[in-house]
């Protein structure tokens, strides 16, 4: 922002410096009268003659107040004068009226001068003058008028009294002006100046990035369908003696594992279910029993009393207990193997 303001100030100073010339300022004012010194004869003027028919003329003289020519009017007992319509006036501005006049004759008469605006009425008199004797000197008459319109009529009227010079008198006029307010004019430089163009400074705005931030997560591979491997779980009996339920026969009964025995799997997946064990057919049971470890001691035959609820124990000796334990172990292992 400071850079932009400084550049704009420099550009303004450069423009101002270019507008100011090296010469001194002068003053001027609007001069509304056209052909004020009669250098073009009576162009732009209307000359009024008296009752006797005054004669007027313009001639060249070295004594002219402005330029080289003056207008000469022969005076008589009637009014004489000249007028011009002024245009492009500034309403409300005060204008200064000025003229030079000269009486050339010999006599005792007097010539009076009135300057009117728009009409020859006493309320419209802007300036007055009087000449009582012939002289080669030029006399200036001045007055002021405030413009009420953009157009006004300027009227210069004079009258000379009876006397020895009344019919042969001559009145000359020159440099009649109607000047407006003073205007100060300062010359400007015509040299081309290079005005620097300020370079705009881009505004820095804090904005959120449009790039989405993607959170990186560890890709998880779908769980492979791995087979569940079971380890050999030793089956432990809750008691040292196993009592055969009377309704179970050795040839057809399937030995089911106790529900209190925990089954451990090597796989940690909770979605893998252990299939429930099914009854082992009789023809597979004989195969499982044949793989059980054998003992050199003979297995005593079971009596019908022990099978059908008798009180006699199945294993009476330590050797019988070992054989029975091995048999149960082999049966349970075969059952789990078939079930899996």
Domain holding 177: CATH number? 2.60.120.260
As a whole number of angstroms, the distance between CA 123 and CA 50 comes to: 23
User: What pLDDT shows up at residue 274?
Assistant: 42
User: What pLDDT shows up at residue 56?
Assistant: 80
pLDDT at residue 144 greater than cutoff 80: yes
| 43 and 179 both lie in a single domain | yes
* Nearest by Cα to 99 from 157, 169, 152, 41: 157
| 171 and 237 both lie in a single domain | no
Q: Are 105 and 90 in contact (CB under 8 A)?
A: no
| 168 and 233 both lie in a single domain | no
| 176 and 245 both lie in a single domain | no
Question: Which alpha helices (DSSP H) does 20-66 contain, by range?
Answer: none
Residue 98 covered by a domain: yes
Q: Which helix (H) or strand (E) holds 285?
A: helix 282-290
| 178 and 60 both lie in a single domain | yes
Residue 38 covered by a domain: yes
Last residue of a domain, which of 149, 184, 219?
Answer: 184
As a whole number of angstroms, the distance between CA 66 and CA 205 comes to: 73
| 112 and 239 both lie in a single domain | no
Last residue of a domain, which of 184, 207, 239?
Answer: 184
Q: Which residue has the higher pLDDT, 252 or 104?
A: 104
User: What pLDDT shows up at residue 93?
Assistant: 95
- Token output for 132: 């009582």
| pTM summary value | 0.48
pLDDT at residue 216 greater than cutoff 60: no
Residue 36 covered by a domain: yes
Residue 55 covered by a domain: yes
Place of tokens 């309704």: 247
Q: Please state which of the ranges 51-60, 126-135, 194-203, 223-232 shows the lowest mean pLDDT.
A: 223-232
As a whole number of angstroms, the distance between CA 269 and CA 224 comes to: 11
Q: Please state which of the ranges 5-14, 94-103, 302-311, 321-330 shows the lowest mean pLDDT.
A: 302-311
Q: φ and ψ at 154, to 5 degrees? A: -95, 125
pLDDT at residue 284 greater than cutoff 60: no
| 168 and 284 both lie in a single domain | no
* Average pLDDT over every residue of 291-318: 47
| 164 and 33 both lie in a single domain | yes
Residue 307 covered by a domain: yes
* Average pLDDT over every residue of 107-112: 74
* Percent with pLDDT over 70 in the chain: 41
Last residue of a domain, which of 153, 184, 215?
Answer: 184
Residue 99 covered by a domain: yes
* Nearest by Cα to 73 from 103, 100, 94: 103
| 315 and 169 both lie in a single domain | no
| 249 and 174 both lie in a single domain | no
Q: Domain residues for 51?
A: 28-184
Residue 53 covered by a domain: yes
User: Rg of the Cα trace of the chain?
Assistant: 73
| 170 and 96 both lie in a single domain | yes
* Average pLDDT over every residue of 305-325: 52
| 167 and 45 both lie in a single domain | yes
Which pLDDT band holds residue 22 (cuts at 50, 70, 90)? low
* Average pLDDT over every residue of 289-296: 48
Residue 140 covered by a domain: yes
Q: Which residue has the higher pLDDT, 186 or 68?
A: 68
User: What pLDDT shows up at residue 136?
Assistant: 83
Torsion, Cα 266 271 272 273, to 10 degrees, reads: 120
Specify the number of domains making up the chain: 2
pLDDT at residue 71 greater than cutoff 70: yes
């Amino acid at each position: 922002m400071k850079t932009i303001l400084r550049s704009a100030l420099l550009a303004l100073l450069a423009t101002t410096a270019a507008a100011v010339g090296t010469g001194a300022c002068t003053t001027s004012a609007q001069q509304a009268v056209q052909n004020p010194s009669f250098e073009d004869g009576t162009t732009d003027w209307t000359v009024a003659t008296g009752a006797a028919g005054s004669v007027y003329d313009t001639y060249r003289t070295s004594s002219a107040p402005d330029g080289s020519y003056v207008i000469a009017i022969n005076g008589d007992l009637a009014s004489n004068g000249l007028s011009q319509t002024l245009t492009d006036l500034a309403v409300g501005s005060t204008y200064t009226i000025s003229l030079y006049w000269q009486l050339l004759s010999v006599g005792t008469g007097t010539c009076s001068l009135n300057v009117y605006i728009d009409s020859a009425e006493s309320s419209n008199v802007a300036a007055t003058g009087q000449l009582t004797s012939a002289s080669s000197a030029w006399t200036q008459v001045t007055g002021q008028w405030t413009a009420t319109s953009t157009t006004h009529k300027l009227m210069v009227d004079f009258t000379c009294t009876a006397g020895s010079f009344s019919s042969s008198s001559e009145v000359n006029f020159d440099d009649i002006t109607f000047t407006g307010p003073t205007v100060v004019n300062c010359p400007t430089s015509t040299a081309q100046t290079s005005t620097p163009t300020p370079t705009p400074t881009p505004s820095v705005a804090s904005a959120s990035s449009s790039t989405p931030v993607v959170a990186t997560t560890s890709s998880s591979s779908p769980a492979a369908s791995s087979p569940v491997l079971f380890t050999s779980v030793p089956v432990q009996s809750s008691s040292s003696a196993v009592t055969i339920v009377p309704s179970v026969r050795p040839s057809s009964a399937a030995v089911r594992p106790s529900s209190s025995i925990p089954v451990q799997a090597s796989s940690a997946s909770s979605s893998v279910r252990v299939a429930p064990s099914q009854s082992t057919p009789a023809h597979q049971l004989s195969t499982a029993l044949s793989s059980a470890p054998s003992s050199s001691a003979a297995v005593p035959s079971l009596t019908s009393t022990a099978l059908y609820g008798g009180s006699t124990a199945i294993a009476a000796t330590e050797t019988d207990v070992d054989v029975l334990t091995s048999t149960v172990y082999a049966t349970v292992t075969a059952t789990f193997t078939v079930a899996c």
